[in-house]
Amino acid sequence: MDGKKLRNLIISIALFALGWILPEMGSVTKEGIFILGTFISLIYAMASGVEAWYVLLLLLVFGFKNELNITTQLVPTVMGNYVVWFIIFTFWYMAGVQRSGFLDFITRKLLNLKISQKGPYWLMSLILVATYIAAALTQSGVAILFLMLAVLRGVKSQLDLKINHPWLVAVAVSVGLLSFVGGLFMPFNFSFYMYSLIVASTYNWAPSVNAVAYTLHQLIAGGAAIALMVAVTKFIIRPKIDFGKLAEIKLTGDGEEGKIKFDKAMGAVVATLVVLVVVIGLPSIIKDQTNAVYKFLSNANITAGFAFSCAILMFVKNKKGERCLDFGEVIQKATPWAMIIYIAAIIYIGDFISQPDYGVMAQVAVWCAPLGKLSPVLVISLLGLLAILLTNATNNIVVALLLAPIGFAAVGTTGPLAAAMVVMVVCGSLTTVALPSGGTSAIVLHTQKDLFTPGKLILHGYVMAIMYAIAYIVGFTITQGLY
């Protein structure tokens, strides 16, 4: 163990120990402080590259401290969580897509567009706009995210970019955000509809959101977010790279060397994308929840969609005669088990933070109480920002239910501002990218070990999340009178 790893290990242990010895603070119980210390220790350890044995040791201590049965409670809950299997299936799927050749085919098609060859920020804009539009039309953000990550891998290969290259990280994080928030574009999409109904039933709010205002709000926010993300990458992150090679990447004619033809393996990848869009997107447009198709797809859900897609790729060979997905090989050599263990533990501990018995979220509510004295428009804007920041660390519906009453106290439960506030809080609480405890897009990004390390992802993730929060506030400011 070198000096840097030893230092990071010591800091992680110190954070964990600090949470153990500190007394209760405000409404946060001593157990809540211990949980916070554990959570922060895990985040720091993952971001700084502390090896995974530390997670296992920390979980054992956590289990003993909370009198959890290691055999029947801790291990099955952490490693048997559906999220763990979702991560594993998506990683295998990604490996299969990469071996199919579909990655290179799509990348060369994209890079052959003239607008992409004008420079790195034109290319970034093209990727982000395509992500947002595709997610809005298909309502299948995860499938779009994987497709765009495949594009980025092709760009990385073509331009010989190294892991953690600032441009690559900035684009990947932005894609992660837009692939999910693009799915919120259509009025009363499944995610917003479900979460707003939970808020409505909890606080006796009448869910009457103006569809035109909602759509315009999302459209303005999406456009502003893309502009801000590109601007931050160009003027603040300022990656150094020669993108002159972009102009050199062209598709050659039929029969010439370098031509990539669409083949059976790539067709299988397209079939898996259709499967994912149907499984994930179709339930959101079926109104009758007693419908047999709705029940089947809802029970299958996203994890089964990826499992079935993996099965498809297992039986297809690429142009080299190799199976697109060899389970034995990918399990033994390519699955990032250490990262999976970290993510599973962070999600598990994050759930404790949301529980009312520990007082963590109650303390956040106390800190947010002074917001009620501000102007309604400012309150709603700040709640949107808080929702986007807090949801990365804990359960998204808890964040929405925590912040909504603060907004209702400022604007009431009727009228256009109440509707606008619910849109800001609910959509903000669904916007996650920095930490794997936040949601699906963040989980997927944290498995991309060949693109970036967790530390870079967390840093860029929060930067881009704040850019989206600003864009969302701009959209709200313009459309507030329409709600």
Token couple for 40: 């922060």
Q: Write the pLDDT tens digit of every residue in 248-277.
A: 655 433 334 445 678 888 888 888 888 877
Dist. CA 130–CA 284, nearest whole Å: 22
Phi, psi of 323 (to 5 degrees): -65, 135
pLDDT of residue 110: 67
**Could you state, in order of their start, the residue ranges of all structural domains in the chain?**
1-79, 83-183+256-334
pLDDT of residue 247: 59
Confidence of residue 74 (pLDDT cuts 50, 70, 90): confident
223's CB contacts (< 8 A; 6+ apart) are 471
Q: Return the closest-CA partner of residue 419 out of 195, 201, 196, 204.
A: 196
Counting residues of the chain whose pLDDT is more than 70, the rounded percentage is 92
Average pLDDT score over the chain: 83
**What is the value of pTM for the model shown?**
0.73
Confidence of residue 30 (pLDDT cuts 50, 70, 90): very high
SS3 at position 151:
helix
Residue 404 has pLDDT above 90, yes or no: no
pLDDT of residue 237: 92
Dist. CA 41–CA 57, nearest whole Å: 12
SS3 at position 436:
coil
Q: Write the pLDDT tens digit of every residue in 87-136.
A: 788 778 878 887 887 766 776 676 667 777 788 899 899 999 988 988 88
Residue 149 has pLDDT above 80, yes or no: yes
Q: Write the pLDDT tens digit of every residue in 277-328.
A: 777 667 766 767 777 877 777 777 777 888 888 889 998 988 888 888 888 8
Q: Write the pLDDT tens digit of every residue in 189-210.
A: 767 877 887 788 777 787 778 8
Phi, psi of 126 (to 5 degrees): -60, -45
Dist. CA 300–CA 249, nearest whole Å: 41
Residue 426 has pLDDT above 50, yes or no: yes
Dist. CA 212–CA 180, nearest whole Å: 21
pLDDT of residue 252: 39
Give the number of other Cβ atoms within 10 Å of residue 242's Cβ: 8
Distances (CA, A) of 225 to 14, 188, 469, 477: 38, 21, 8, 14
Length of the chain: 483
